[in-house]
Amino acid sequence: MITVTTRPEHKMVVAHMSGLLTVDEIRQFERDEHEAIRSMGCRSGEYLVLIDTVGSVIQTQDVVAALQDIVQNGRFKAKRTAVVRPGPLARMQAQRILARDNSRIVNTAEEGLAWLLSPDEGGAPLQT
């Protein structure tokens, strides 16, 4: 199951993923994420993403491939993405999916939020 909410004060999409996901759920997540981005008035590169996967398990290869497709070929790209994914095997799977410079795998939602809202390399805060 995947739930998508927003934190408009930070131009942030927050997704909570739990259990063993299906490709249909991943495609619905993509639609829900796009709607959340549009509802905040954001375009590609203007928003942050926090994905909490603590409640999910290691995913099947078809689900991993669907997530990789969204990351690599999706219409919208986040300014930064933080994925909460404790555990070494789960972290390796998340690294395969993300493979982007502007993403980070973290142990807790608090750690992810702190990184997402931290200043960028030019010293400007990323929160909006």
- The answer to whether residue 124 sits within a structural domain is no
Q: What is the mean pLDDT of the chain?
A: 86
What type of residue sits at position 53? T
Task: Identify whether 123 is part of a domain.
Answer: no
Yes or no: say if 85 and 49 are a contact pair by the CB < 8 Å rule.
no
CA 46 to chain centre: 14
Distance CA 82, CA 51 (A): 6
Q: Which range marks the domain in which residue 87 is found?
A: 2-116
Q: Is residue 34 situated within a structural domain?
A: yes
Q: What does pTM read for this prediction?
A: 0.84
**CATH code (residue 16):** 3.30.750.24
86 falls within a domain: yes
> Is 127 contained in some domain?
no
Question: What's the DSSP call for residue 26?
Answer: H
pLDDT for residue 105 is more than 70: yes
What is the average per-residue pLDDT within 14-42?
Answer: 96
CA dist., res. 39 & res. 42, Å (int): 8
pLDDT for the residue 73: 87
Structural domains of the chain, count: 1
What Rg value do the Cα atoms of the chain yield, rounded? 14
Q: Is the pLDDT of residue 37 over 90?
A: yes
